[in-house]
Structure 1
Amino acid sequence: MGRRLPRQLSSDDCRGHLRNPAQHHRRARARPSPRIVQMLQLLPDDDQLQIVDAVQRYVRDEFPVSRLRLENEKRRELPRWAEIAELGYLTIALTEALGGAGFSMAEEVLVFREFGRALISPVAVATTVTAHVLAAGERQDQIVAAIAAGTTRAAPAVCTSDGSLLVIDGDRANLVVLRDEQGLSIFERQALRPKGQARSLDDSVGLERAEIVGKPLMVGTAADTRHYQLLIAAMQVGLGEQARDMAVAYGKERIQFGKPIGSFQAIKHRCADMAVASEMAYAQLLFATIAERDGAPGSPFQVHAACLLAGRSAAENSTGAIQVHGGIGFTSEFDSHRFVKRARVLDQLGGDATVHRTALLTASFPA
């Protein structure tokens, strides 16, 4: 007997790659395009997971959230800024020629997600983005090198209704980064006139008032603004995930009516909602980061969507953690209230929900 032809080479399959060909008795199966297959590679690879593991162990051991309960160690990370910079976390996406590690924005976002879990000061975001903005300019290599060495750092600021600035953790900061409706601007300290201290809702960060009296050292591009917002979103995602984990852990420990409260339906549903919010925000953050890194069409739309979901997960999960803890969640004995306060601070720095919803309505949807 002669050998039968393979199924894919038989005459019945002639032109089988086409949709509903006349020679084929069945409809051709849909095949994803190579571009779609490439875009689906969103999850961190093994090398990136090693970076995450290293950062996670470092911040867990050196910067536990419980440090914020101690008055004299509230801003312990600021005096140790040189150590954080020396490890390369602030310049991980800069080229090696500029003192960086030569990685991309993807690794950078993963690092700042872990910073958000530990409630590291948002000075980290301002300093990192400042290094990128100045690296693209002329005659700024010395400042970039100083940032990589940990001797120079930048503090984030927001503009108030009366036109003055609120500078966050500006103590010993050489530069100030302002994100407003016009974009991103970097000022030297002498371009600002101090107007005294201000009371912060989040007592783990310092807050001072200032007035702009000089011109900015450099103005960032629209891409720099999105970079800044993505790193803020990464910290919000990490904050929301940590709040979720705290709520789940407490639900397993707290016993009521002879059972862990996590076994009750109301707590289960709340924790499930927190998990969904975190996963949605994390997935969109990764997609927006890759789109922005690769310059994909519609990346501004994806960045604003990521910021919207990240801010929502941080706000809802931090308040949800307090609900799971009950009345004790408001007290200084637990850290739940710190996540609520920091979520508000990050929301102001990266832009609140109204800012991002408006941007989504006016942005072109990616094809």
Structure 2
Amino acid sequence: MAESFAVAHALRAGGHDEPLAALADGALVVSLGLGTDPLVESADRAGLLVLEHDGALHAVPGASVRTERQDSVDGARRLFTVAWEPAAATELVGGADLVAQTRDRLLLAVSAQLVGLSRQLLELAVAHVRVREQFGRPLGSFQAVQHRLADVAVAVEFAGPVVARAACSLAAGAPSGTRDVAMAKVFASEAAERAAYSALQVHGAMGYTREHDLHLYGLRAWALALAHGDAAVHRERVAAELFGGPAPRYP
């Protein structure tokens, strides 16, 4: 979903909007590769890939690339390296500006996913501690458990408005859009990591089993928190814009 959201903008802004109708009705699967030697999600299934090369984006048919599966923290997140040859015919107009715009939209969509994952993890944890008993009492009655989950709730509630602000900034074309998106990734990543670790801790050994749904959300939260730059990288990007100095290279 995040890649489709970003690719739709890249195709429209890059003067290659013919595939948008097929993308909208689900007939076309797309994916996106940004940065140096990127890992591209579901590249083997994509009919069209938007890939970065030398500061420009290229719309590359899936049939013309070679893919190799790579390991992921989240086994349900299928990552590939992609071998391909850039050509003038595949290049989208817009250059580095289009790369930056597409990156911002990818980060925004991933941040929104992380907030949703955080909320789901918190709901699973709260539901569990209400019914799981220790020492003859529900786990949720212990103050240490309450404080841990309250910290998660605070982190999630702080992250949501930051992501919403980033969305508004991009929609309005605000000069602060890139900085706001970077901050959204910071807050969303930290909230998701806190939610995943806390949910795993309160579930105990049950949380490590594949029979429980926790792993579906926890592993995805950890994977996306690290994807496209973790919280530390994007915090440095915010600091570089506010105080000057070189920003860290986009991963």
C-alpha deviation, 1:232, in angstroms: 0.7
Aligned to 2:81: 209
Gap regions ≥5 residues in structure 2: 244-251
Taking the aligned partners of 1:184 and 1:272, their CA distance within structure 2 comes to 43
Aligned to 2:105: 227
Cα 1:265–1:228 change in 2 (3 A) is: same
Taking the aligned partners of 2:53 and 2:140, their CA distance within structure 1 comes to 42
Aligned to 2:214: 336
Aligned to 1:261: 139
**What is the CA RMSD across the aligned residues, in angstroms?**
2.5
Aligned to 1:132: 9
Taking the aligned partners of 2:58 and 2:12, their CA distance within structure 1 comes to 14
SS at match of 1:350: coil
SS at match of 1:351: coil
Q: Contact (CA 8 Å) 2:44, 2:62: kept in 1 or not?
A: no
Taking the aligned partners of 1:272 and 1:227, their CA distance within structure 2 comes to 30
Q: Which amino acid aligns with 1:168?
A: E
Aligned to 1:155: 31
Q: What is the correspondence of 1:16-165 to structure 2 with a 5 Å cutoff?
A: 124-138=1-15, 140-157=16-33, 164-165=37-38
Q: Among the aligned pairs, what percent are the same residue?
A: 34
C-alpha deviation, 1:350, in angstroms: 3.2
Aligned to 1:106: none
Cα 1:331–1:184 change in 2 (3 A) is: farther
Q: What is the correspondence of 1:193-208 to structure 2 with a 5 Å cutoff?
A: 193-194=66-67, 196-208=68-80
Q: Contact (CA 8 Å) 1:156, 1:349: kept in 2 or not?
A: no
Work out whether 1:292 is the aligned partner of 2:170: yes
Q: Contact (CA 8 Å) 1:165, 1:211: kept in 2 or not?
A: no
C-alpha deviation, 1:180, in angstroms: 9.7
Q: Which amino acid aligns with 1:200?
A: S
Taking the aligned partners of 2:70 and 2:164, their CA distance within structure 1 comes to 36
Aligned to 1:309: 187
TM-score normalized with structure 2 length? 0.83
Gap regions ≥5 residues in structure 1: 1-123
Per-residue CA shift, 1:115-167, capped at 9, x if unaligned? Answer: xxxxxxxxx111122122212233x33211111121112124466xxx64432
SS at match of 1:231: helix
Aligned to 1:273: 151
Taking the aligned partners of 2:4 and 2:120, their CA distance within structure 1 comes to 24
Cα 1:210–1:244 change in 2 (3 A) is: same
Taking the aligned partners of 1:277 and 1:171, their CA distance within structure 2 comes to 36
Cα 1:231–1:354 change in 2 (3 A) is: same
Larger Rg: 1
Taking the aligned partners of 1:233 and 1:347, their CA distance within structure 2 comes to 8
Cα 1:151–1:230 change in 2 (3 A) is: same
Q: Which amino acid aligns with 1:201?
A: V
Q: 1:173 aligns with which of 43, 46, 50?
A: 46
Q: Contact (CA 8 Å) 1:301, 1:363: kept in 2 or not?
A: yes
Q: Which amino acid aligns with 1:227?
A: R
Aligned to 1:356: 234
Taking the aligned partners of 2:78 and 2:234, their CA distance within structure 1 comes to 26
Work out whether 1:327 is the aligned partner of 2:220: no
Taking the aligned partners of 2:153 and 2:8, their CA distance within structure 1 comes to 34
TM-score normalized with structure 1 length? 0.59
